[in-house]
Amino acid sequence: MAGVGLVIEGDPELVDIVRLVMPRLFWGEGEAQGRPVWRIRLERVLGPTASLDAPVCQEEIRTETGRVVLSKERVCRICTRDEFGLGVLIHLAIAAILRRNRILQIHAAALCPPDSASAFLFVGPSGAGKTTLTMNLARRSWGFLSDDSVVLTDSEGEFLAMPLRPSFRIVREGHARKELFDPEQEFPGQRLASVAIKGLVFVEQSGAKGSLLTPLSREDAFARLPAATPEFGSGEDARWQLGFIARLSALPSFILAAGRDVLSDDDALDRLLRNLRTEVRAA
């Protein structure tokens, strides 16, 4: 998973559930060779306050249905009364493991223009139109990592993105709820395993006919980015996250006031966003 190897163990019923859903929720990279390996140990307890015989605890996260306990030995214990709260606990555990390995999770689509070796993050809250925008541009041969969730590493100012969730979440015509969709079915060969990030685009719905792209200052980008990171740690983890966000906000940044052309079959949005490379060089 996204730069970290995982071993799932513990309660057999919970292990079966997690092994079933993990490939749908988190991008897998095959063998964990050369990557840190964490053991996720699934346990049933009477309640979130039940006592634990745990290794030295570095971090503990409590919810109404259970808790996540991380140790120095790369063991993450997920303690839950039943399977109903397991999904939330798994997401909290993954976010904590990523932080511990200095990998930043961010709610953003990552898209790469055709014939380009670098990509842009399209950042926005749920409902901003990231999936619709991703589907629109994928139909025009843009490469993609994810429509909503990616992870980033930072190596001396070079930001490398990897997908965190393999599926898109779309609303099909006539349905009210989002469902998972495998983009490989419609866009074979366009998914990227990793790519360098060269700019940030913050997506906002405008309701206008056409979309508009405008530059954004580093200060404004820094102010917006924390809302796109799903979980903040404490202490040293929090300082690391803020430092990462500060460095990331130094990339050329823009606001995309997304208009109705995001839903259009014409190429207006594609033509507008292909200018990003020119805008980045000028920034």
pLDDT classification of 20: cutoffs 50, 70, 90:
confident
The whole-number average pLDDT for the span 264-275 is 79
* Tokens matching residue 53: 């015989």
pLDDT digits (tens, 9 = 90+) for 41-83: 999 986 545 454 544 567 888 888 899 999 888 999 999 988 8
Please, are residues 100 and 231 in contact by the beta-carbon 8 Å criterion? no
What are the structure tokens assigned to 189, written together? 């060969």
Query: Hey, what's the torsion of the CAs at 100, 118, 23, 69, to 10 degrees?
Result: 10
DSSP string computed for 73-117: TSEEEEEESSGGGHHHHHHHHHHHHHHHTT-EEEEEEEEE-TT-S
Question: What local confidence, expressed as pLDDT, does residue 31 receive?
Answer: 47
Predicted TM-score of the model (pTM)? 0.84
Among the ranges 26-35, 203-212, 269-278, which has the highest mean pLDDT value? 203-212
Looking at the DSSP bridge assignments, the partners of residue 80 are 44, 66
Q: Which domains does the chain carry?
A: 5-101 (no CATH), 105-282 (3.40.50.300)
Q: Find the mean pLDDT for residues 168-173.
A: 70
> What kind and span of H or E run contains 175?
none
Q: How confident is the model at residue 277 (pLDDT cuts 50, 70, 90)?
A: low
The whole-number average pLDDT for the span 88-95 is 88
- pLDDT score of 180: 77
pLDDT at 278: 66
Cβ atoms of residues 11 and 18 within 8 Å: no
Per residue in 181-197, pLDDT (tens digit) is: 888 888 999 998 889 99
User: In this structure, how many other beta carbons lie within 10 angstroms of the beta carbon of residue 247?
Assistant: 14
27 — pLDDT class (breaks 50, 70, 90): low
149 vs 23, higher pLDDT: 149
Percent share of the chain, pLDDT over 70 = 85
CA dist 157 and 220 (Å) reads 19
Q: Which two tokens stand for residue 51?
A: 């006592």
Confidence of residue 172 (pLDDT cuts 50, 70, 90): low
Angle, helices 86-100/12-25, rounded to nearest 10 degrees? 70
Check residue 90 and give left, alpha or beta (phi > 0: left; psi -120 to 50: alpha).
alpha
What φ, ψ does residue 253 adopt, rounded to 5°? -130, 150
